Amino acid sequence: MIGEPTERSQAWNIRPRAQSADITDPDRLPGTMGVMAPEPSAPTLAETLRTRPTVSVGDDVDNGLREALLTWAHTHGLEILDRGATLAITTKPEYAADAAWVHSPFAGVEHLAPALPDDVLLTRTTGTMPWRIAEYVLAWVLAERWQTARYLADSASATWDPSNPPMPPDRDRAVVVGTGAIGRSIARSLAAVGHRVTGLSRTGRPDDAFDAVLPFAEAHAPALAGAGVDVLVLALPHTPQTTGLISPQLLQTFDRVHLLNIGRGSAIGTDTLVGALDAGRVRHATLDVAEPEPLDPASPLWRRPDVTITPHVSGLTLPSDVVTSLDAALMQVRDGVRPASAVERDRGY
């Protein structure tokens, strides 16, 4: 993080500039970056990338994405090294030795953040992923509302049964735990089909994607209590603070909600979820994440008809998302601006 200068932090010391980058100027492309008023004793990260433009892509990155990243690096004149580059694109800290900047090709950084020195710039990829996750949530909410499983079974058995047709829900409220880019996209998608959406966040800071936002400390407030909440979505990263955050006490606030977890499996323990299902606090759980992953075949969750499990597919990262995120971050670093995708190391996201 930016703070007292160290040998490494001086290598990416950045300061605001009055004007934004002109991306049409070939002299300002990432491979030929200008100097950002370097400290006398050490070059800035932009200067380092101009004079020694090196990048490494970890062996942990799958082949399709790896090929796209190597093409991107070649296009921008970045020398490609196996290890020891200025910029390391990886999910594993062992591939990031001596890097001044590490970029995660995914949104999650729980394996990187604790292992990297605080003075290493850590950025992550989101791209279009929030809207794909929002689409996943909306698909499963509507699938339950429209009794999709029932009608698929009827269709397979040539059964015409118009009894008990899908009806509008008698509860129109949703709660989204986590109000970052993913949580905001989910809130907007649920609002589009008639839900009033309350967000829960660390700070409770208002956000126009939500009808209201409450801090975690007020999760038991009357604003959340009662039978008005129909959908509960967990959109939390994995951090020490979010592990086990969805407690039995919190779930006592709700009654027969559809719980969807698209964040991290560590947010709610298996015993807690099973207890809430058995007690009727949760009527159905749709889980795209688990703890651990892959979910143990012996887990009781596999054998419950009131649980749907998908193998962490809602937020797949596209190669174009990674390239776009890197381009934006490089331009911001070069312009003396802390990248919007930079991870706040004290929070872990």
* Contacting residues for 283 by C-beta, under 8 A, at least 6 apart: 256, 257, 258, 277, 306
In the structure encoding, which two tokens stand for residue 11, read together?
């290598």
Residue 183: phi and psi, rounded to 5, are: -60, -40
Query: Parallel, antiparallel, or unpaired: how do β-strands 196-201 and 212-215 relate?
Result: parallel
Quick check: 28 and 46 in contact, CB under 8 A? no
Output the CA–CA distances (angstroms, integers) from residue 199 to 47, 138, 164, 250, in the order listed: 42, 16, 33, 14
CA dihedral 299, 304, 310, 311 (to 10 degrees): 10
Alpha-helical segments (H) within the chain: 45-51, 63-75, 129-145, 148-156, 181-192, 248-251, 270-279, 319-334
Q: Is 67 labeled as catalytic in the residue annotation?
A: no
Cα 36 from Cα 1, distance rounded (Å): 17
Neighbours of 123 (CB within 10 A): 24
312 classed as catalytic: yes
Enter the DSSP assignment of 69.
H
Nearest partner of 107 among 89, 82, 95, 125, judged by Cα: 125
Catalytic residue, from 76, 173, 258, 264: name it. 264
- 165 contact partners, CB below 8 Å, separation of at least 6: none
Q: What is the H or E stretch that residue 148 is in? A: helix 148-156
Can 7 be counted among the known catalytic residues? no
Neighbours of 248 (CB within 10 A): 15
Residue 58 has what DSSP assignment?
Answer: -
Q: Compute CA distances 338 → 11, 16, 115, 216, 334, whole Å.
A: 14, 8, 21, 28, 9
| Three-class secondary structure of residue 48 per DSSP | helix
Catalytic residues: 264, 293, 312
